[in-house]
Structure 1
Amino acid sequence: MTTDSPPGRRRSEAGIQRYSVSELNRAIGALLERGFTPRFLLDATVTRPQLKKGHLWMTLGDGDSSIGAVAWASRLARLTYRPADGDGVTVVGSLNFWAARASLTVQILDIRPSLTTVLRRFERVRALLEPEGLFAAERKRPLPPYPRTVAVLTSAPSSALADMERTAAERWPLARLLVVAIPVQGEGERQICDRLEWLSARAEDLELEALILARGGGNREDLALFDGERLARCLARVPVPVVTGIGHEDDTTICDLVADHRAATPTGAVVALLPDRAAEALHLSQCRERLQQRVRWRLQMERQQLTAQRSHLVRLDPGILLARERERLRQQRQVLAALSPTRVLRRGFSLVRDEQGRIVRSAQGLNPGQLLRLQLADGAAEVHVAPGS
């Protein structure tokens, strides 16, 4: 039985293929190209990353095995993350076989930090900044009640920005959003800090009253940019209140801890900062009603007081007072007249006094022959007590 040999491949007498080194390496390369997936995900730990002639070389390992990897300069310029020694990563790669040396490496198409790496960095930065008071509650500033100019730092254009602008227009159209485009993933910390410093220096000229730092959705690994120490310090120096809306509700970044207020989402940041015009209109209507009620109540109280004062003035009128006193005098005169002894005497009674002028109220104690003086209605008379009386 005979078989055809591939070009360049020689067959020995025993039916075993014979290769040169170059032929063998080319055959291995062809086999890998045909038999291995052109793109794959690889979870690994980075060791010894080195930049050589614009290419980033590193070793990827998992504790038991390792393989070399490279991000070519053309690809490296588009990567948003540069791994450090010891970082856990997820690599999107393909196999690269160098036939001349039979060297197998992973060609890096994309690389992202693992969740463990992201959380480890988060804890490291938090432990560094927390003793400095950057997360302290007492440094949190209140949000302005009716902000007129708000800086919005986020990716532009993006669905997150579109949602924020729509929500702002619905809630409080008077607010002006000053949109500043920033990278929201990868190695963009320096660019964000530059924009924050620019805004901070011009906050007064721009009449800036608040700032929103936002990034929609994504995995926790995608939010690693917002865990940077430098970015946290820049954010803490912003002269106006800062609201963050980064990722999802369960995601907390270093920037969230530094901000004056943390919202769960970019749209939530707008809701937290801007008042709701419908609610404000209702509140204004209620305030107007309360004010009108207070004015009506005040007018009623003043009318009642005025009526009372008028009544008091009427009672103090001299003519009325004089007539009242005349009536009282007339009544007292009648009482005096009714109680006058003269009137009693006119009814047939008399007033009896002894020699000393004392009124005699009882027959007891009178002596026969004693002189008594009688006061009658029309005059006086003297009498003597008859013997035997």
Structure 2
Amino acid sequence: METAAKTYTLTDLGNSLKSVIEKKYTGRYWVVAEINKLNYYPHSGHAYPELVEKKDGKIVAQFRGQMWKNDFDVANNTFLELLNEPIRDGIKVLMLVKVVFDGMYGLSLQIKAIDPKYSLGDLEAEKNLTLAKLKKEGVFESNKRKTLPLVPKRLAVISVESSKGYADFLQILAQSGENYHFELRLFPSILQGEQAVTGIQQQLREIAKIPHEFDAVAIIRGGGGDVGLSCYNNYELSRAVATFPLPVLTGIGHATNLTVTELVAHTNAITPTKLAELLLQHFRRFDDELARAKEKIRALTEKILRENEQRIDVNRKSLIAATKLFTTRLLVQLQRQSETFKAVTSRHLQRNSGSLHELKMKMHFATEKTIENQRGKLEKYGGTVAEKSVRKLEMQQQELTHLERTVAVLHPRSVLQRGFALIRGNGKIITSAKKLKSGQELEIELFDGTVQTKLIEKNENEAR
């Protein structure tokens, strides 16, 4: 008769395994693993992470973990203090664990503590690896080489509408007091943690479809302290920023070491407020350059007018002096010829006294002819000199008149004479109806005086 095989219940088998494990694994062990999924439950405060080991991107070992509320809170607070990061999915950790077995839930690792220093080194290694890859690919400086317009007014903003940093950014731009106009379009995205990587990349792809509509991209995050910034060391996100077709400006809002995304961006500011101030500086610089150009044009115009007036005066005096000198020389020459003729005639008369009457007549006619010829020459030369002098003076006068008319047309008073007016509010020139409020007191400057008035109603036209 065969002996019946001994049978066991699941409970028996489970208790046996539990007994063996408790006898074999009596202590606590430091184990390295990656948190594939944290499985944190805020209601209870417990976490049940999936712990994995990967090789060449494939999972080669996997355990279920458990971490009670008190242990999790201590470890998470330590992470925040040292790493500025919470315990999260995808992070590699060094854990102090106890091996436990439960008949209902099977084998698991009960996590008693996590060493944040190990994870800090791992995060730093990730940052260094990202930097090395971008430099090896030759794209680390790509975005910095993009040209930012002199007046970057059209901005695609990646942020959260409710973000304090975004609100600060808008406030600084609006309260500059210089009436600069920015065209902003918000592309909302999560700005910290692992979801920020995919969110920001998605919005960059959307902006890249319409790059002609923007001067630059601004990534703005603020109000969250330094927590959750490791996502900005992610290779894919950093590369997307480095190779983006438009200049990328960052105002992520933290005071610690720069992330890779900030390092590869065209311009980085420590806070959204600082970024807004940098943009305003671009506008102010352009204003200053424009004012200098206007002053240079004014000074150059005045210089040209002065030089032309001086040149005309010099030419006029030179022409007058030359005419007088030429006339004087002709008169002297005529006088000498006349005296010479008289002397020759006298000698001839003395030698030929018999033909006195004949010579007298010849002398009379010759003298009259000579005088007439010389008078004709004098009139001819004098007329030519006078005509050229008048023509030269007329040309110079026409040039001066043209310059005077050009300056007069450009003068603000001429613009007002043509029916235009300057409107001022609180001492500043108003250029847009959007800046006016009903009931606001205004000053209107016309050609012949100013008018004080009050705005009753405004109608805004669509922007052209």
Shared fold (TM-score, shorter chain, > 0.5): yes
Task: Provide the secondary structure at the position in 2 that maps to 1:247.
Answer: coil
Q: CA deviation at 1:247?
A: 3.3
Indicate how the Cα distance of structure 1 residues 283 and 71 shifts in structure 2: closer, same or farther if over 3 A, else same. farther
Give the direction of change, closer, same or farther, for the CA distance of 1:57–1:148 in structure 2 (3 Å limit): same
- Aligned partners of 2:316, 2:120: CA distance in 1, in Å? 84
Secondary structure in structure 2 of the residue aligned to 1:191: helix
> Aligned residue for 2:136?
131
In structure 2, the partner of 1:116 is 121
- Structure-2 change in CA distance of 1:71 and 1:212 (3 Å): farther
Check the 8 A contact 1:114/1:221 in 2, yes or no.
no
Residue 167 of structure 1: which of 172, 176, 179 is its match? 172
Q: 1:49-77, CA deviations, whole angstroms, 9 ceiling, x for partnerless residues?
A: 45599953339xxxxxxx943599xx9xx
Give matches, 1:192-271, under 5 Å.
192-204=200-212, 207-216=213-222, 222-271=228-277
Contact 1:147 1:274 in 2 (8 A): no
Identify if the C-alpha distance between structure 1 residues 56 and 103 changes in structure 2 by more than 3 Å, giving closer, same or farther. closer
Residue 294 of structure 1, aligned match among 281, 300, 313: 300
- Does the Cα contact within 8 Å between 2:148 and 2:216 map onto a contact in 1? yes
Which secondary structure state, in structure 2, belongs to the residue aligned with residue 302 of structure 1?
Answer: helix
In structure 2, distance between residues paired with 1:138 and 1:195: 17
- In structure 1, C-alpha distance between the alignment counterparts of 2:231 and 2:103, rounded to whole Å: 39
RMSD: 4.6
**CA pair 97-295 structure 1, distance change in 2 beyond 3 A:** farther
Match of 1:58 in 2: 51
Q: 2:158, 2:38 → 1: CA distance?
A: 35
- Answering whether residue 96 of structure 2 is matched by residue 83 of structure 1, we say no
Kindly provide the CA deviation profile for residues 150-184 of structure 1, in whole angstroms up to 9, marking residues without a partner as x: 01112331111111111222446311121222212
Alignment of 1:331-370 (within 5 A): 332=336
Q: Distance in 1 between matches of 2:167 and 2:38?
A: 42
Single out whichever of 150-159 and 224-233 deviates more from structure 2: 150-159
The SS at the match of 2:147 is: coil
* SS, match of residue 291 in structure 1: helix
Q: Which amino acid aligns with 1:144?
A: P
**1:329 maps onto 2:333 in alignment:** yes
User: Bigger CA drift: 112-121 or 47-56?
Assistant: 47-56
Larger Rg: 1
**Residue type matched to 1:201 in 2?**
K
Q: Specify the alignment match of 1:191 in structure 2.
A: 199
- Where 2:219 maps in the other structure, the secondary structure is strand
| TM-score normalised by the chain length of structure 1 | 0.58
**Which residue of structure 2 aligns with residue 177 of structure 1?**
184
Between structures 1 and 2, the one with greater helix share: 2
The worse-fitting range, judged by mean Cα deviation, of 145-154 and 245-254 is 245-254
Residue number in structure 2 paired with 1:366: none
Contact 1:156 1:182 in 2 (8 A): no
2:89 partner amino acid: R
Alignment gaps of 5+ in structure 2: 1-14, 16-29, 41-47, 53-63, 73-85, 352-464
1:47 alignment counterpart:
33
Return the offset for 1:282. Answer: 4.7
**C-alpha separation in 2, matches of 1:160 and 1:53:** 30
Q: 2-side partners of 1:236 and 1:47: how far apart?
A: 32
Select which of 301, 308, 311 maps to 1:305.
311
Decide which structure has greater strand share.
1
The offset of 1:299, in angstroms, is 0.7
Q: Cα offset for 1:296?
A: 0.6
In 1: Cα distance, 2:221 partner to 2:120 partner: 18
- Cα distance in 2 for residues equivalent to 1:253 and 1:150: 22
| Deviation, structure 1 residue 120 | 1.7
C-alpha spacing 1:300/1:332, structure 2 compared with 1 (3 Å):
same
Does structure 2 retain, via aligned residues, the 8 Å contact 1:154–1:161? yes
Say if 1:262 and 1:331 are closer, same or farther in 2 by CA, change over 3 A. Answer: farther
Contact 1:156/1:181 (8 A) holds in 2: yes
Structure 2 CA distance for partners of 1:217 and 1:113, relative to 1, 3 Å: farther
Give the letter aligned to residue 325 of structure 1: R
- Rounded to whole Å, the distance in 2 between the matches of 1:130 and 1:115 is 23
**Does the aligned pair in 1 maintain the 2:165–2:253 contact within 8 Å?**
no
Structure 1 unaligned spans of 5+ = 1-20, 22-43, 60-66, 346-377, 380-389
CA distance in 1, matches of 2:94, 2:122: 6
The aligned amino acid for 1:272 is L
